[in-house]
Amino acid sequence: MMPGGYWNAILRVDLDRGAHWITSTGEALARGYIGGRGFAARLLYDELVPGTDPFGPDNPVVVAPGPMTGVFMPNTGKVTFAARSPATGLYGDSNMGGHFGLAVRMAGYDALVIRGRASEPSVLVIDDGRVRLLPAGDLWGLGSFDAEVRLKEKLGEDFQVAVIGPAGENRVVFACISHDFGRQAGRTGVGAVLGSKNIKAIAVRGTRSLPVANPRRVMQVGQRLFRHIFSLPGTASWTPYGTAGVTTLINEVGALPTENFRRGTHDHWQELTGETLRRRILVRDKGCTACAIPCGKYSRARLDGTERYVEGPEYESMALLGSNLGMARLEEVAHLNWLCDQLGLDAISAGAVASFAVEAFERGLITRQDTDGRKLAFGDYESLAWLMEQIAYRRGVGDLLAGGVRHAAQALGGGSDAYAIHVKGLEVSGYEPRNTLAMLLSYMTCDIGAHHNRAWAILHDIEVGRYKVEGKAEKVIELQHLRPVYDMLCVCRFPWIEVGFGTEHYAEMLSAVTGEPVTWEHLTHLAERVWNITRLMAIRDRPGFGRADDLPPRRFYEEPVEGGPAHGHHADLADIQRLLDRYYQLRGWDENGHPKPETLERLEIGPPAFARRPAGAG
Amino acid sequence: MILQALEEECSGCLACELVCSLVLFKELNPRKAAIRIRGEFPAPGAYRIACCDQCGDCAAACPHQAIYRKASGYWIDPDKCRLPCTLCADACPRDAIFFHADVPHAIKCVSCGQCVRYCPTRALVDKDGKVENMAPVWRNAR
Ligand code: SF4
Ligand code: SF4
């Protein structure tokens, strides 16, 4: 029997044929992979045939909420978008808040799997059981905000909309998916995959009650845990500033990426704090479904007579569009943030790509001939805003940069790969890690490329010593097994990491929903399985994938950082190799980073479904 | 308890809608709630809250006497309500009467106070001061 919390229904959409149907979720997927990122990993493992072009019709886009999405318990507002990433060529996913996941669940689905390519620009409209493609010629070309407004006018306020901007249409490999005027599935370019399918937006309206096993129990547990999270001191101290509350600390420890990761401290860091945001530009606090600690800081910033509404800038945007671009004014960062959101660019990668371009300009690899005579410079809002547009529309030098820093460095040559700050083709997010080895290892081994939140280890480095090697691989793995639990359940991790809401609550929360007993240990065991499955996909999808792909950018072990508490230091390559050795050993992987047969056996992963079918079938 | 909405405090989290549907139907379904949140974005970036303050206009308008006075406010008698009449909704000055295709009667607030207790931003309050907000005060950080 299916556990509670599931519809036992996955909506399949074939855009080539304009057809849709439902397949059952099944107990094995539900119990073995829970939902969200777990579903995405297993479904892509089973259905993504190696060699599939990320922009080809056969690259499936998986949209997966989890069994907890939208339940009355603290912070249940998440949904996962996944596909083969055009940025990395590997499994890619991104997690988004807002109310989109709730709508998918209320429409009656455990997940959506979208394949093929629509014959014209279209919106996929899901209205409970009614699914159709709406021609979207009038929306194609619109910015994300404008398209969301237009679609809600057209379909109704009660539709939840996930939309791409021009960057997604133009297949910029770091194009995001936007929702609720400020929430994004930012990383790994799933927005570009939707664009390659001619899908401008997915609009969902659901009216059904969530399929939880025991609503009374959900209510009791929800009431108790809301009261508990309300009582934690962190709730009152963290919530006013949200993620940007961390800027001060990160600058202090020298990890605030500045001017393309040359430095870890920024002269104008005070412009980038949650406190400054709240004082100067805040309109209101904004939350996702059932959020007890609304971190969304919806703002209005005026710059040269133009006023922009934007959610944020949150910490990552403060770092990548702020310090890493050398910006000295919050309002300029907010406007760059608005521009990225409107164009449909992941603010993290867009900021990192722009900072790479500035450095390449300084070193003469990009010249005024490439920039319509402009000078690209850190801190220069005008030229950087111009650059974002060039990228989103793939104009001139923007076309080169639209492939991400790895691609741009390959094309530019001239040693620019030394300052192309990425791992596996995904740009490094908001922590300068060369003097914090756990954080560095976290970036190196992250399955989707250099993303911080799979294992946010920087505080551990500060606690135990930056350059200490012992125990760091253990810590990173511990964090890497914790995080997928949140992503499988589709709940927010901030209650845990920021306000001290303990991991011990989640087994109880899930079992109220499913009606089945479960333990936290079991959930982290499933997380290990997810971690190995995405590794297996990398190995099978990219011939030669292995240890070399886990190495960080050279800047982090060749160039000393300028300024800050770790001034003059960088990571040591021998330490990095030791960290990797230990990490692989603990994971049960060989020295090239490939899971050993006994590891796969222990985790009961098995062969992918496509390999079990006879060639040419289904 | 008299429900009062402080719209400028609301974060749009829908916790109120979720707990309300649990109270009224023992189900998780914001579209069956007796309170509704609507965003106005991108500008001005506001939430509007439609909720009931137990004024009784609906009861006066109901031709079937399906809305009756209880100590805590006005309740709907599902057996007497005759959809698709909807005259109560027309009479409601706060747009706080709701309908759902699967529910054979109008949906209306029973003044239970659960949404006040669990609103994380204290955007819902009891004018009578009897129901307590459980969420902490943190806004004064501004
Ligand atoms: S619970 Fe409070 S903050 Fe959340 S939507 Fe309702 S009124 Fe707004
Ligand atoms: S007081 Fe009770 S019935 Fe009325 S809106 Fe709030 S939760 Fe719903």
Is pLDDT at A526 greater than 90 in this prediction? yes
Is pLDDT at A357 greater than 60 in this prediction? yes
Q: Phi and psi dihedrals of A398, rounded to 5?
A: -60, -30
Structural element, H or E, at residue A61: strand A61-64
Q: For the segment A556-578, what is each residue's pLDDT rounded down to a tens digit?
A: 999 999 999 999 999 999 999 99
Q: Please tell me the distance in Å from B14's CA to the nearest CA on chain A.
A: 6
pLDDT for res B140: 65
Question: Does residue B11 line the site of ligand 1, with CB under 6 A?
Answer: yes
Count chain A–chain B contacts defined by CB atoms under 8 A. 133
Q: Please tell me the distance in Å from B64's CA to the nearest CA on chain A.
A: 28
- Helical packing angle, A505-514 and A520-541, nearest 10°: 90
Instruction: Kindly determine whether residue A72 and residue B22, on different chains, have CB atoms separated by under 8 Å.
Output: yes
Helix and strand counts by DSSP (H, E) for chain A: 26, 17
Q: For residue B44, which residues of chain A lie inside 8 Å, CB to CB?
A: 283
pLDDT for res A28: 97
**What gap in Å lies between CA A175 and CA A317, rounded to an integer?**
15
Q: For residue B26, which residues of chain A lie inside 8 Å, CB to CB?
A: 215-216, 219
Instruction: Kindly determine whether residue B11 and residue A278, on different chains, have CB atoms separated by under 8 Å.
Output: no
Would an 8 Å CB–CB cutoff place B103 in contact with chain A? no
Using the structure block, give the residue that is written with the tokens 């005026």.
A302
Q: For the segment A202-255, what is each residue's pLDDT rounded down to a tens digit?
A: 999 999 999 999 999 999 999 999 999 999 999 999 999 999 999 999 999 999
Is pLDDT at B141 greater than 60 in this prediction? no
Residue of A nearest to B134 (CA): A227
HSE-up of residue A142 (Cα within 13 Å, Cβ side): 20
Question: Does residue B110 line the site of ligand 2, with CB under 6 A?
Answer: yes
Q: Please tell me the distance in Å from B113's CA to the nearest CA on chain A.
A: 13
Task: With CA atoms as reference, report the closest residue to A589 among A598, A576, A579.
Answer: A598
pLDDT for res B116: 98
Is pLDDT at A550 greater than 70 in this prediction? yes
Q: Best of A148, A157, A241, A298 to disrupt the B interface by mutation (most B CBs within 10 Å)?
A: A298
Q: Look at ligand 1, atom 8, and give the residue with the nearest C-alpha.
A: B10
Question: Does residue B107 line the site of ligand 2, with CB under 6 A?
Answer: no
Task: With CA atoms as reference, report the closest residue to A489 among A505, A476, A506.
Answer: A506
Q: For the segment A387-425, what is each residue's pLDDT rounded down to a tens digit?
A: 999 999 999 999 999 999 999 999 999 999 999 999 999
Instruction: Confirm whether the ipTM is greater than 0.90.
Output: yes
Residue of B nearest to A106 (CA): B29
Token digits of residue A386: 């111009």
Q: Look at ligand 2, atom 3, and give the residue with the nearest C-alpha.
A: B109
**Which ligand has an atom closest to residue A72 CA?**
1
Instruction: Kindly determine whether residue B141 and residue A279, on different chains, have CB atoms separated by under 8 Å.
Output: no
Q: Please tell me the distance in Å from B29's CA to the nearest CA on chain A.
A: 5
Instruction: Kindly determine whether residue A240 and residue B139, on different chains, have CB atoms separated by under 8 Å.
Output: yes
Q: Please tell me the distance in Å from A456's CA to the nearest CA on chain B.
A: 26
Query: Which residues partner with B4 through β-bridges?
Result: B125
**Once rounded to an integer, what is the mean pLDDT over residues B11-20?**
98
**What gap in Å lies between CA A231 and CA B36, rounded to an integer?**
26
Q: For residue A99, which residues of chain B lie inside 8 Å, CB to CB?
A: 14
Is pLDDT at A184 greater than 70 in this prediction? yes
Reported as a pLDDT band with limits 50, 70 and 90, residue A616 is: very low
Token digits of residue A562: 């300028």
Torsion-angle region of B26 (φ positive above 0: left; ψ -120 to 50: alpha; else: beta): left
pLDDT for res A153: 97
Would an 8 Å CB–CB cutoff place B141 in contact with chain A? yes
pLDDT for res A617: 42
Q: For residue B121, which residues of chain A lie inside 8 Å, CB to CB?
A: 285, 287, 294
Q: Look at ligand 2, atom 6, and give the residue with the nearest C-alpha.
A: B115
Question: Does residue B3 line the site of ligand 1, with CB under 6 A?
Answer: no
Does this model's pTM top 0.90? My answer is yes
Q: Please tell me the distance in Å from B119's CA to the nearest CA on chain A.
A: 8
Token digits of residue B86: 């909807």
Q: Look at ligand 1, atom 2, and give the residue with the nearest C-alpha.
A: B119
Q: What percent of chain A has pLDDT over 90?
A: 98
**Residues with Cβ < 8 Å from A35, sequence gap 6 or more?**
A64, A65, A66, A67, A68, A69, A110, A111, A488, A489, A490
pLDDT for res A613: 60
Reported as a pLDDT band with limits 50, 70 and 90, residue A324 is: very high
**Once rounded to an integer, what is the mean pLDDT over residues A507-526?**
97
Reported as a pLDDT band with limits 50, 70 and 90, residue B72 is: confident
Selecting from A218, A282, A300 the residue whose C-beta is nearest the C-beta of B142 gives A282
Q: What percent of chain A has pLDDT over 70?
A: 99
**What gap in Å lies between CA A101 and CA A121, rounded to an integer?**
23
First to last CA, chain B: 30
Query: Which residues partner with A290 through β-bridges?
Result: none
Q: For the segment A126-178, what is each residue's pLDDT rounded down to a tens digit?
A: 999 999 999 999 999 999 999 999 999 999 999 999 999 999 999 999 999 99
Q: Best of B11, B32, B103, B140 to disrupt the A interface by mutation (most A CBs within 10 Å)?
A: B11
Would an 8 Å CB–CB cutoff place B71 in contact with chain A? no
Q: Look at ligand 2, atom 4, and give the residue with the nearest C-alpha.
A: B109
Task: With CA atoms as reference, report the closest residue to A85 among A204, A193, A213.
Answer: A193
**What gap in Å lies between CA A552 and CA B34, rounded to an integer?**
53
Q: Look at ligand 1, atom 3, and give the residue with the nearest C-alpha.
A: B10
Would an 8 Å CB–CB cutoff place B22 in contact with chain A? yes
Instruction: Kindly determine whether residue B11 and residue A219, on different chains, have CB atoms separated by under 8 Å.
Output: no
Long-range contacts formed by A557-562: CB under 8 A, 24+ apart:
A557/A434, A558/A418, A559/A262, A559/A418, A559/A434, A561/A254, A561/A262, A561/A263, A561/A264, A561/A432, A561/A434, A561/A435, A562/A262, A562/A263
Using the structure block, give the residue that is written with the tokens 């399949």.
A12
A84-118 b/e with 16+ CB inside 10 Å = b? bbbbbbbbbbbbbbbbbbbbbbbbbbbbbbbbbbb
pLDDT for res A611: 78
Given ligand 2 and candidates B28, B55, B114, which is best to mutate, with the most ligand atoms within 8 Å of its CB? B114
